[in-house]
Amino acid sequence: MLFKQQALLRQKLFVLGSLAIGSLLYLVARVGSLDRLQPLCPIDGRFGPRGQDEIPLRALQFKRGLLHEFRKGNATKEQIRLHNLVQQLPKAIIIGVRKGGTRALLEMLNLHPAVVKASQEIHFFDNDENYAKGIEWYRKKMPFSYPHQITIEKSPAYFITEEVPERIYKMNSSVKLLIIVREPTTRAISDYTQVLEGKERKNKTYYKFEKLAIDPNTCEVNTKYKAVRTSIYTKHLERWLKYFPIEQFHIVDGDRLITEPLPELQLVEKFLNLPPRISQYNLYFNATRGFYCLRFNIVFNKCLAGSKGRIHPEVDTSVITKLRKFFHPFNQKFYQITGRTFNWP
C-alpha cells in the first residue's frame, strides 16, 4: 500500500515538473521570438522620438491604405465623414522647374506621414480653361487627407507661365513655394532629350540640340528656344518676386537630390515646418536603376518610373561651353537673390 502511494506521488511530481519546465521553455522561446521580431517594425526609429508633434500612426496607415481607395472614388460620403477626411487646397506647391526633378521631389516628400500628394499634375494655374472652372474644381482635384496633413501638388509649367504668380497669390498669399533646379545646361539638354524621345516614339524626325540651342544666323545662344529660356532661372523668379517675398521660396538642389537626397529632404522638412520624419531608412540606392528608391515601410517600396534618367545625346563641346558662358551671369544673379550658391560652371 505504501509503495503504491509513493509511486503515485512520484508520478504527480513528474507531471507537475514537466508542466513547469514546459511553461518555462515556452516563456523563454516567446521572449526570444519577440526580441527577434521587434526590429522588423522599427516605428520609433523611423519617425523619431515620441513627442507632442508626433504624427499619429493611423494617419500613415490610412495614407497607404484607405486613402488610396478614396482617391479611386471607392469611398462613400459616410466613410469620408467618419474618418474625418477632407480635400484641402495645397499649402505648398512645387512650381518648377521642368526636368529639374519635380516628380522625384514630390514622391520623396510623400514619404513624410504629414504630407499627402496630388498624384497628377493639375495644371490649374497655367491652363486658362482649367482656371476658368474655379477654385472648387481645383480643390476637388486634391487627394483626401486628415486636417493635420498638408497637401502638395506639382506642375513645373507654373514657374515659367506669366499669369501663374498672380493667380496663386489670389488663392493663398502665404503658400510655400518649392523650386528645384539643376545645372542650367544639363537641364536644357535633359529637356531636349525628353522631347526627342517623344518624337522618336511617333517615328518623327527632330533637329539636333545644337541646331535648336544656337541661332544659325548669329551663332549666338538662341533665347527663343524654350529649353534655353526655361534655364534662365533668375528671369522667371523675378516675376514671382513681384507677388511673394523670397522667404516663401525654397530652392532645392536637383543634382544633389539625385546623389545625396536625404540632406535636401531634411531642408525641405524644415522649410515646411514639418517634424523630421524622413530618414535614411526611407531611401535606398538601387544599383540596377542607378537611382535612389523609396521605402515607405517593411512591405512597400517604390522606384521612380523607368523614363527617369534618360541617356542624353552627345552634344558638341563648343556648344556646351557657349551655353555655360551664356548662363553664367544669370546664375550669379540667381545665387544673390536666393542666397543659395551652386557649383555650376
- Please report, for the domain that includes residue 148, its CATH number: 3.40.50.300
In a domain, 70, yes or no: no
pLDDT for residue 58: 43
Largest CA distance in the chain: 123
298 within domain boundaries: yes
Cα distances (Å, whole numbers) of residue 229 to 161, 222, 226, 330: 12, 9, 5, 11
pLDDT score at 124: 98
Q: Is residue 37 part of a domain?
A: no
Q: Is 29 left (phi over 0), alpha (psi -120 to 50) or beta?
A: alpha
Report which of 207, 246, 254, 243 is spatially closest to residue 227, judged by C-alpha positions. 207
134 is annotated as contributing to ligand binding: no
Distances (CA, A) of 296 to 20, 64, 70, 117, 330: 44, 9, 19, 14, 39
Residue 311 assigned as binding residue: yes
Q: Report the b/e string of 207-224 with b at 16+ CB within 10 A.
A: eebbebbbeeeeeebbee
Within 202-303, residue ranges assigned H as helices are 209-213, 226-230, 233-240, 254-259, 261-271
**How far, in Å, CA of 78 to CA of 76, rounded?**
5
Say if residue 312 carries a ligand binding annotation.
yes
**Among the listed residues 326, 53, 115, the one whose alpha carbon sits nearest the alpha carbon of residue 213:** 326
Note the pLDDT of residue 28: 37
Query: Which structural domain range is residue 280 located in?
Result: 84-338
Q: Which listed residue (99, 117, 154, 322) is catalytic?
A: 99
The verdict on whether residue 139 carries a ligand-binding annotation is no
Q: Is residue 183 part of a domain?
A: yes
Look at residue 181 and tell me if it is in a domain: yes
- pTM of the complete model beyond 0.85: no
Question: What integer pLDDT is reported at residue 200 of this predicted model?
Answer: 86
Which pLDDT does position 292 carry in this prediction? 92
User: What's the pLDDT at 93?
Assistant: 98
Quote the pLDDT of residue 245: 98
Confirm whether residue 190 is marked as ligand binding.
yes
101 is in an annotated binding site: yes
Per-residue confidence (pLDDT) for residue 287, from 0 to 100: 83
Structural domain includes residue 227: yes
H-assigned helices in 223-316: 226-230, 233-240, 254-259, 261-271
Cα 125 from Cα 123, distance rounded (Å): 6
pLDDT digits (tens, 9 = 90+) for 224-265: 999 999 999 999 999 999 999 999 999 999 999 999 999 999
**Sheet bearing 291-295, strands edge to edge:** 283-286, 291-295, 301-302
Are residues 237 and 334 in contact, defined by beta-carbon separation less than 8 angstroms?
yes
Q: Give the cell for residue 332.
A: 550669379
Residue 311 resides in a domain: yes
Task: Compute the distance between CA of residue 220 and CA of residue 281 in angstroms, rounded to an integer.
Answer: 48
Q: How many domains does the chain have?
A: 1
- The Cα–Cα gap between 241 and 117 comes to 25
Residue 187 located in a structural domain: yes
Q: How is residue 246 written as a grid cell?
A: 523670397
**Annotated binding residue at 100?**
yes
Q: Taking CA 63 as the corner, what is the angle to CA 302 and CA 172, rounded to the nearest 5 degrees?
A: 105
* Cα–Cα distance list, 282 to 134, 167, 196, 292 (Å): 37, 35, 33, 10
Q: How far apart are the first and last CA of the chain?
A: 104
208 included as an active-site residue: no
Low-confidence residues in the chain, pLDDT < 50: 2-4, 8, 15, 19, 24-62, 64
**pLDDT score recorded for residue 39:** 33
Report the run of H or E that residue 74 belongs to, with start and end.
Answer: none
How are beta strands 291-295 and 283-286 bridged, if at all? antiparallel
Nearest to 327 by CA among 223, 190, 210, 184: 184
